[in-house]
């Protein structure tokens, strides 16, 4: 008998777009906080970080190199967030 074909493990384009947008949002938020805390007013920092978000999302949709770099950053960012969540979960499980 023939073995069943394994499903394709690559993420769909919708999943990739979601990861790119989420990563760009996290980077924009980080940029906003850093600029706001250091030198700029919150309005100016918000305008600059939203422009950064739009440029990153637009270029990642057009250029494969930018999309690949953003996917690599997404992997690192989400791994760090998962580690933080695991540590917080472990600390909270001590009290629960």
Query: What are the pLDDT digits (tens) for 43-74?
Result: 888 888 888 888 888 887 778 787 788 888 88
Cα–Cα dist 81/90, whole Å: 14
For residue 27, which of 73, 62, 63 has the smallest C-alpha distance? Answer: 73
pTM, entire model: 0.56
Cα–Cα dist 15/20, whole Å: 9
Query: What are the pLDDT digits (tens) for 15-40?
Result: 777 877 888 888 888 888 888 888 77
Residue 1 has pLDDT above 60, yes or no: no
The confidence score (pLDDT) of residue 22 equals 82
């Amino acid at each position: 008998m023939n073995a069943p074909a394994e499903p394709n493990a690559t993420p769909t384009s919708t999943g990739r777009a979601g990861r790119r947008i989420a990563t760009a949002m996290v980077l924009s938020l980080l940029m906003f906080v850093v600029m706001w805390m250091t030198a700029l007013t919150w309005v100016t920092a918000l305008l600059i970080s939203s422009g950064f978000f739009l440029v990153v999302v637009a270029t990642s949709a057009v250029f494969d190199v930018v999309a690949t770099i953003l996917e690599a950053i997404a992997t690192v960012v989400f791994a760090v967030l998962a580690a933080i969540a695991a540590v917080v979960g472990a600390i909270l499980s001590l009290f629960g």
